[in-house]
Amino acid sequence: MNPSFTAVQNFSRRDVLKLFGATGGGLALGATGLSWSPMAMAQGEDARLNLFIAIGEDDKVYLTCHRSEMGQGIRTGIPQVLADELGADWNKVVVVQGLADKRYGSQNTDGSRSIRKGFDKMREMGAMARTMLEQAAADKWQVPLSEVSTANNLVIHTQSGEMMSFGELARAASQVPLPKVDTLILKSPNDFTHIGKSHKIVDMQAILTGEAKYGYDITLEGMRYASIIRPPVWGSEVKVLDDSKARKVAGVIDVIRLPAAKGAPGFQPLGGVAVIATNSWSALEGRKALNITWTDSINDTHNSEVFLKQLVEKVQSPGKIVRQQGEENSDWPKEKTIKAIYTIPYLAHAPMEPPVTTASVTDAGCELWASTQTPQSAAQNVAGYLGLKEEQVKVNVTLLGGGFGRKSKPDYCAEAALLSQQIKAPVKVCWSREDDIQNGYLHAISAQLYQAKLGDDKMPQAMLQRTGFPSIGSTFAEGADYPAGWEVDLGFVDVPLAVKSLRCETVEAKAHTRIGWMRSVCNIQHGFGIGSFVDELAVKADKPTTQMWRELLGESRQEMFVDQGFKYGNYGEELTRHPVDIERYHGVIDAVELGMKKGTQPKENQAWGFAVHRSFAAFVAVALLVEVDKDKKLTVLRAVAAIDAGTVVNPDRVKSQTEGAIMFGLSLAMMGEISFKEGKVQQSNFHDYPMLRMTQCPDIDVTVIASDAPPGGVGEPGVPPVAPSLTNAIFAASGIRIRDLPVTKKLTV
């Protein structure tokens, strides 16, 4: 296709078939020309557009999703928004997966922001295409545009009832000038037909029948398989390699040394030794036959148990001030002070599908088939390693078998590309489960101190909080030994407690492995800390935890954190658009409190635990009913959750994501632990890094709060309240207070 086309393009039959699988020409609409387009400056004759909407003369509507699908339903959600403003018939919608291209803006599918950041933009896209169809019809009928509307793939003249299909108007609409954004008329929410409706995910049938293509399903002619053994300790590299036995394994083609990463980890491949073979089994067997001596590393002495004890000591001494509300309190009388320290270990993402990429490097460039959350970052990273321009790297995004943040770090994409370049053939790099757990980017180990001075009413008059954990910043810059501002924004400094004096501090923690973001990021540890401490305050005051939260949150208001020593990032959102609204906290608390009263009430050795948390511009409360028997065996019986994520596109997906977050959070809280000895990860697979089994999963009841607020995040906000609601329930049922995760340190599960 000619790269020099404008925002509206009249495709030939062959072009549409090639690009969209269509059977005819029609209307195609891209991002350029929108007020929000990151490529608005590139509207000259050389601007190449990546299209969101195409309509064929066959009346099919092709809607592009530029984000990665990993089970969250985004390949359904984004098209729902586009289709609603367009007036499309859902049965005629075909979803197209977008390739990596910076003209989409960010394609980074993490941070619970695909709908949160894309909702208004996609509405504009749909409205723009609708307006062009309506104008084409108005011109044909010689009627005012105001008398024309769309519904179910039809353009309708409201006065006469005359109709034309989208397909009939596609060519004419492609000739209509692109309307300006400020002239668009968006639908009233009362008129939504797809937004707010529970559409089945578009990939469901393919997933159920095994036809869906994940990263592991890619095969190319002449493709080779690579299995890579990576340094067992961060910072070490190959010292001596004996590959003689590996080369004798049937099917092994070559053994290639990969250079070790230098400096801050970034998205660099770790290095090591790759065994290249004609099939995956031979690659794995060849890898087993390698004899490698590794160099020493400064991280050889890293012991996670010792390191955690050091963090616990550090949070008991003054640190860097990151928030001060009111006057500093220096009087902590022993008889009126309550203090607790909470810890969590390193954690691994462990998606069901480990990282995988297939790369084919030729003289023309590189093509990837990647299970990636960040196609643009993958292209950029690979281009840098191969010495190519970004536009020479094509990234095909497959379905992801889970991601949780791991697959937004494209080190594995670079591995495949480097090997393909070297052997001059397509190469698939498949990480094993052991590779994923032992060589990934881990969620940080952490310790937190919470301290409160109580008044005569047993309510906090002053609070002190300290947090310490290796920063994600260490992955991108050496010497980043304190949490970054955006990390303490995640559930630490941004909890709107209405106490007279509140001081938040951070302490130093050096990284000894690659630290990365995981589903809900630092909210994992901070949600556990504050959620647990509020419960301890409630027990001390002899109040329900729900009531303690209400009183600590204080009067209804929108908290702006004025004059408290920090500027709140608010997940990249303006506080005026996504406020920290105390009423919305109360809404989810009320909904869960009501849910706890329904159904069977706790019996002997059973009790509810509760926690609430705001993250990614959404509010979530969770209550868990547990039983702890006389043998200290834990059973989680029931979960009740409420989420206020503002305007919801697909309620079924919001419910599903919240259910998934509860299961994810339970896995981490009950059993999640990565430990280090002599710099090496001790766990290797699901036998010693287990996930929640079906028999351990409780009945789950999720309430999605109706709201007309702008869309908030959905995928991550459900995780943070889970761990504290679990440990609070355990205390209520058994008297055992768990401050150090996982729960298996004290109970069996």
Residue 192 has pLDDT above 90, yes or no: yes
Q: What is the pLDDT of residue 51?
A: 62
Mean pLDDT, residues 239-245 = 98
Q: What digits encode the pLDDT tens for the residues 569-610?
A: 999 999 999 999 999 999 999 999 999 999 878 999 999 999
Distances, alpha carbon 689 to alpha carbons 217, 399, 413, 685, in Å: 26, 25, 25, 6
Residue 18 has pLDDT above 60, yes or no: no
Q: What is the pLDDT of residue 175?
A: 80
Residue 496: helix, strand or coil by DSSP?
A: coil
Residue 655 has pLDDT above 70, yes or no: yes
Q: Which among 388, 429, 144, 140 has a CA at the least distance from the CA of 269?
A: 429
Mean pLDDT, residues 35-39 = 29
Q: What digits encode the pLDDT tens for the residues 172-185?
A: 888 888 888 899 99
Q: What is the pLDDT of residue 36?
A: 32
pLDDT band of residue 30 (cuts 50, 70, 90) is: low
* Count of CB atoms situated within 10 Å of the CB of 297: 18
Dihedral sign, CA of 141, 146, 150, 156? negative
Mean pLDDT, residues 17-35 = 43
Longest dimension (CA), the chain: 84
Q: What percent of the chain has pLDDT over 90?
A: 88
Q: What is the pLDDT of residue 16?
A: 34
Q: What is the pLDDT of residue 558?
A: 97
Q: What is the pLDDT of residue 20?
A: 36
- For residue 367, the 8-state DSSP code is E
Long-range contacts of the stretch 203-207 (C-beta < 8 A, 24+): 203/69, 203/75, 203/76, 203/399, 207/399
Mean pLDDT over each residue of the chain, to the nearest integer: 92
Q: What is the pLDDT of residue 3?
A: 24
Mean pLDDT, residues 272-296 = 98
The Cα 28–Cα 78 span in angstroms is 17
Q: What digits encode the pLDDT tens for the residues 485-535?
A: 999 999 999 999 999 999 999 999 999 999 999 999 999 999 999 999 999
- For residue 471, the 8-state DSSP code is -
CB 413, CB 384: distance < 8 Å: no
- Yes or no: domain 304-347+441-745 corresponds to CATH 3.30.565.10: no
pLDDT band of residue 393 (cuts 50, 70, 90) is: very high
Q: What is the pLDDT of residue 27?
A: 63
Q: What is the pLDDT of residue 44?
A: 26
Q: What percent of the chain has pLDDT over 70?
A: 93
- Yes or no: domain 13-209 corresponds to CATH 3.40.50.300: no
The Cα 164–Cα 137 span in angstroms is 8
Q: Which among 523, 531, 533 has a CA at the least distance from the CA of 589?
A: 531
Mean pLDDT, residues 455-466 = 97
Residue 322 has pLDDT above 70, yes or no: yes
* Count of CB atoms situated within 10 Å of the CB of 610: 28
Q: Which two tokens stand for residue 215?
A: 């990263």
Q: What is the pLDDT of residue 464?
A: 98
Residue 168 has pLDDT above 70, yes or no: yes
Dihedral sign, CA of 153, 156, 161, 162? negative
Q: What are the residues facing 27 on neighbouring strands?
A: 55
Mean pLDDT, residues 413-442 = 98
Mean pLDDT, residues 406-432 = 98
Q: Which CATH number fits domain 215-297+355-430: 3.30.390.50, 3.30.365.10, 3.30.310.50, 2.40.50.140?
A: 3.30.365.10
Q: What is the pLDDT of residue 24?
A: 37
Mean pLDDT, residues 392-399 = 96
What is the H or E stretch that residue 52 is in? strand 51-56
Instruction: Lowest mean pLDDT of 244-248, 259-263, 313-317, name the range.
Output: 259-263
Sequence-distant (≥ 6) Cβ neighbours of residue 369 within 8 angstroms: 215, 218, 220, 357, 358, 359, 396, 398
Secondary structure of 638-668 in HEC code, one letter for each residue? EEEEEEECCCCCCHHHHHHHHHHHHHHHHHH
Q: Which two tokens stand for residue 269?
A: 């491949």
Residue type, 285: E
Sequence-distant (≥ 6) Cβ neighbours of residue 99 within 8 angstroms: 50, 375, 394, 395, 396, 397
Residue type, 240: V
Residues of the chain with CATH 3.30.365.10: 13-209, 215-297+355-430, 304-347+441-745
